[in-house]
Chains A and B, each alone.
Chain A
């Protein structure tokens, strides 16, 4: 033994050094009771479970928990969920793991779940005191799955759930959650707050939008280190903060669900939104084909766009163009140009779009060439301001092509006598 040991130690120097920080601790061994947890045993073994009941009246941040009661159905719009969403059939879900990625060696040492009962919101936290307890924990959650129809997570689609499924495969246990429809709140959060929040991390979202302020929270990234320390020292107090962190994550999932639901129900909340949020919401309702909500938000939005930032007219105009409501688009483009004034405009899109409209729809080549020339001017201004680059040269070429074609059309319309020129014109148009 000692000889191999010596060689191993000698080789260690040549090896990439193993991160081996010794974590000092002054904590003495404690009991699970101190963190409010008990040992749970089933046919597959034991693990530790902490259960917390939160009365539905309790207000977490801006919202009381009961707000989801009876109103969860609206969540089905978020990810085209097919089945009915009932608040007491939703399982909120978040894991704490020993590493990154979803390789076979990354172990979720804590599974946090939350759900509604008649009078309380329950958070259950399943924790393994060592990796051999994982099987019992998996068997427990498998049974839990049977009582629910929907899984609610934050980034669970690409991380927590595939990771959990790995564990079932590794323990040769059948995963019995296939019937659960998955609502991953990260996706709507990203689409709504893409521009208005610097990051869509859950802790940031809850602070900025839900009024939840964590005190002394350990970041999730610390969880593995604390767990490894616990494995060595076996003192539950070491992971107490991880329990706390995970609990807040689970509760936040419920509150975030309430927030999203409110966007579909409480029109008064719109006035609190930032302009970009309101615009994103408008896009949501359009994509979800919720006509009334779309119309309502759209009207609210136009007033605010005029006051705050006319640039939003451009993407809005495109929405209407796609909806084949070109007249509205045209009015928005014109409104945009009117509000901004030519000189301040950088984007050529409204000019080009208007030129297309007049050329093809109205056959009003004079108007068309007017907008084309304005577009050309905008680009010239741009080029003189910035270094001549490929992008602008290409745009300019496109514009000049359009201009030439229009000039030709105008000429041939002046000589418009015989039918042929019209035919020719049509052909030119088809090539557009």
Chain B
């Protein structure tokens, strides 16, 4: 360390020293070092065209990484392939190489690249064009998205060898107008799907249906393209790919790329109140670590779980480092920023002008921001897969990298931090989709019928096609003539169907401080809790207060304010069972899975003071109720399950157990914690018994509850382990919840309840 400035000379030195610095030492609960990894290389495959090989030789690249070579070979054999690769492992060559090879052999061939976002697509087209320029051949690669100039579109449709697009564009522009794309579809040989793991949950279920439509159109034009996919590390890449593509897929998961030494540090904020089990805020601790890194000149990325946290952290960090840098050097990044702004930030990160960035998981994807040196995660990102993706943003090839995972007091974070072996040894989560979700399926059957009439015997999704076609015929959307069903409606179905969110519309946020200016947007589900009237909405570190929310017109009018609090809204939920699809029984309780209706209404909000996070006021929210039909999993037990305990005690036990379960559920699901919700009921309408419900927060459900139904017993075990492992006396936010919520006995009763439920399980297993 430089004694005059108190600064470290390098990241390497900081890594060595920080372990011994008293202000950090006690909080570091686990230090995991992953040694540097040598590259594993393979010769260029024999079949590869000389001119293509020469391009790499000219750039001093004389071999491929093993996974790149394997991918090339398998694609040559005609297999559909999914390659699992971490960040910065040269994954683009896994598809660019075989695609360019084919295009050099056959100039009439075509390839379609699909990326989850426009930004990624633009990145990738630049990269592949660089290769094409070096090859000096007539191969054309274009992006085709909402930004493409109308005048350029026709040329792209007819002459683009590689068309780079996103699933939304495929869904609403390319497939419904397939007759304009005859050249592409007749000659389509490859479909490249990057970031396959992002196509999960609702979005993935939609995309699976878009792919069904795509294959249907290809089939019509007589092509049978090969799929080349890449994915981040998930538990089930092969299965996930096969579910999305509905084809056999060859898995390549031995990554040959080198990596620098990597330090992953688990950091648990200090306990400030033993009695209440309250830890110091993870936001403040993350900010402390990030500003240490930044002040030492280490380019750092900070990940936060929500948009609001991003903005809070950004404000703190800009304030903390204002002597070192201007505010332009530390930036925020999240959905809701406008595209131009985002491109500028990405550029700044690549060229080093921006030293620090605070982001939501928006930067988890492969957007090119170069490699940073350190990463601070404010809170466990919710899944093992995400954690590695985020951590992968730090790590230059020849250098060590450092990642801090700063646990929040939520039970999932505390479970992970207390069980590092779970994190480092367990397989990451599964990506799940529910392509046959009835609502999603119907939407896409409509789109597909618009594109081409359905014929008897055709397959589309599950076994229900015929029934859906008959239903749509009755609804006078389709018209049946003998064995064919024709689209017979005036509308253009793809326009009313959005792939991205259950909420089909966004609310826009208008700043009225000077004139009126749109500053961002919020999805429909989040609107009642984020932009209700009087809410503090933070954008780019600036506070705005919502003055008026026009719910009908989907507009929120905000004005700049300067206050020392933020707002947090409460959502009241009612739930009714419609139908039971699966059930199992144990001696002590009954486990069921089926369909439910949920009515949710935002009721009131709290004002929470910065820094101390104390509650300084509240107010009502007057917004309409939302109704949702979805799938749910629940379990119920006899009222007297806890002998000698009152109804009131049972209520605390239920609440405590729900709090734990909903937080650890993401251990088994690859989903946002907001995608799965929990409702405890002391006397459920359906069973008349104490019941805990979990439901998918998407109309029709996307398979999350179903998965939880399958892992029910393991889930209970994990909950017990977590509560027992927690150091608090009688409940804290890190396990069953704070005592203000679950009472002084919540922890004890929840454990007691678990005891009964689990013992019974064991009995059941023994018999």
Report the separation of the CA atoms of residues A4 and B492 in the bound assembly, to the nearest whole angstrom: 26
Compute how far the CA of A5 lies from the CA of B474 in the bound complex, rounded to whole angstroms: 11
Tell me if A's interface is mostly helix, strand, loop or mixed. helix
For residue B486, CB closer than 8 A to chain A, the reply is: yes
Contact A11:B700 (CB < 8 A) given known A5-B471, A104-B176, A132-B482: yes
Q: Within 8 Å of chain A (Cβ to Cβ): is B439? A: yes
Q: Is there an interface contact between B467 and A166, defined as CB atoms closer than 8 Å?
A: no
| A170 in the interface (beta carbon within 8 A) | yes
What bracket does the count of chain A residues touching chain B fall in? 35 or more
The prevalent SS among residues of B at the interface is: mixed
Instruction: Check A104–B486 contact: CB distance below 8 A.
Output: no
With A105-B487, A169-B182, A170-B179 already in contact, the answer to whether A14 and B496 are too (CB < 8 A) is no
Q: Which residues of A contact B177 (CB under 8 A)?
A: 102-104
B486 touches A107 (CB 8 A): yes
Which residue on A lies nearest to B494, using beta carbons?
A: A103
Q: What is the 8 Å Cβ interface bit string for chain B, positions 451-471, against chain A (1 contact, 0 not)?
A: 111000000000010011001
The chain A residue with its CB closest to the CB of B581 is: A3
**A20: Cβ under 8 A from any B Cβ:** yes
Asked if B450 and A105 make an inter-chain contact with CB atoms under 8 angstroms apart, the answer reads yes
Q: Flag if A103 contacts B489 (CB, 8 Å).
A: no
Chain B interface size, as a band, is: 35 or more
Q: A1-B467, A166-B179 known; A103 and B479 CB under 8 Å?
A: no
A77-121: which have CB < 8 Å to B? 98-105, 107
How far is the CB of B76 from the nearest CB of chain A, in Å? 32
Tell me if B760 is interfacial: C-beta within 8 Å of chain A: no
List, in ascending order, chain A residues with CB within 8 A of B629's CB: 10-11, 13-14
A52 beta carbon closer than 8 Å to chain B? no
**Is the beta-carbon distance between B178 and A99 smaller than 8 angstroms?**
no
Complex CA–CA separation, A166 to B178 (angstroms): 9
A411 close to chain B: CB less than 8 A: no
Inter-subunit contact B471/A169 (CB<8 Å): no
- A8 x B468 contact (CB < 8 A): yes
Q: Is A27 an interface residue (CB 8 A)?
A: no
A421 CB contacts on chain B under 8 angstroms? none
Are B490 and A98 neighbours in the complex by a CB distance under 8 Å? yes
Contact check: which of A19, A105, A228 meets B451 at CB < 8 Å? A105
Q: Verify A131–B451 contact, CB threshold 8 A.
A: no
A135 to B702 Cα, complex, angstroms: 40
Contact for A14 among B468, B477, B488, B628, CB less than 8 A: B628
Whether a CB of chain A sits under 8 angstroms from the CB of B547 is: no
Q: Are A20 and B486 in contact (CB under 8 A)?
A: no
Q: Indicate if the CB atoms of A228 and B476 lie closer than 8 Å.
A: yes
Chain A residue with Cβ nearest B482: A132
A269 in the interface (beta carbon within 8 A)? no
Neighbouring B residues of A103 by C-beta, 8 Å: 176-177, 450, 492
Residue of B nearest to A129 (CB): B481
Instruction: Give B438-456 interface residues, CB cut-off 8 Å to A.
Output: 438-439, 442, 449-453
Q: Does B328 contact A (CB under 8 A)?
A: no
Residue numbers in B under 8 Å from A169 (CB-CB): 179, 182
Q: Mark A280-298, 1 if CB is under 8 A from B, else 0.
A: 0000000000000000000
Partner of A4, one of B451, B464, B481, B486: B464
B699 near A: Cβ within 8 Å? yes
Beta-carbon contact of A105 and B176 below 8 Å: yes
The listed residue (B468, B477, B486, B628) touching A18 by CB distance below 8 A is: B477
Task: Name the CB-closest residue of B to A23.
Answer: B476
A1-33: CB near B (< 8 Å → 1, else 0) gives 100110110110111101110000000000000
A263 located at the interface, meaning its Cβ lies under 8 Å from any Cβ of chain B in the complex: no
In the complex, are the beta carbons of B490 and A104 less than 8 A apart? Answer: no
A104 to chain B, nearest CB (A): 5
- Specify which of B179, B450, B464, B486 lies most central, judged by the most chain A CB atoms within 10 Å of its CB: B179
Would you give the 0/1 interface string for A208-230, flagging 1 where the beta carbon is closer than 8 Å to chain B?
A: 00000000000000001100100
- Given that A5-B471, A8-B438 are contacting pairs, would A105 and B482 also be in contact in the complex, using a CB cutoff of 8 Å? no
The answer to whether A231 has its CB under 8 Å from any CB of chain B is yes
Q: Which residue on chain B has the smallest CB distance to residue A16?
A: B496
Partner of A99, one of B179, B482, B489, B579: B489
In this complex, which of B482, B488, B627 has the most chain A Cβ atoms within 10 angstroms of its Cβ?
A: B488
Interface hits, B590-614 → A, CB 8 Å: 595
B209 to chain A, nearest CB (A): 15
Q: For A15, what are the chain B residues with a Cβ–Cβ distance below 8 Å? A: 439, 442
B491 in contact (CB, < 8 A): yes
Expressed in whole angstroms, the Cα–Cα distance for A20 and B484 within the complex equals 21
Which residue numbers of A lie inside 8 Å of B, CB to CB? 1, 4-5, 7-8, 10-11, 13-16, 18-20, 98-105, 107, 130-132, 165-166, 169-170, 224-225, 228, 231-232
Q: Contacts A7-B595, A131-B484, A165-B179 known; list 7 others, CB within 8 Å.
A: A8-B468, A15-B442, A104-B179, A105-B487, A105-B492, A224-B490, A228-B489
Could you list 25 examples of A-B contacts with CB < 8 Å?
Answer: A1-B467, A7-B438, A7-B579, A8-B442, A8-B467, A10-B578, A11-B439, A13-B627, A14-B699, A16-B504, A18-B477, A19-B491, A20-B476, A99-B491, A100-B490, A102-B177, A103-B176, A104-B177, A105-B176, A105-B449, A130-B479, A131-B486, A132-B482, A228-B476, A231-B488
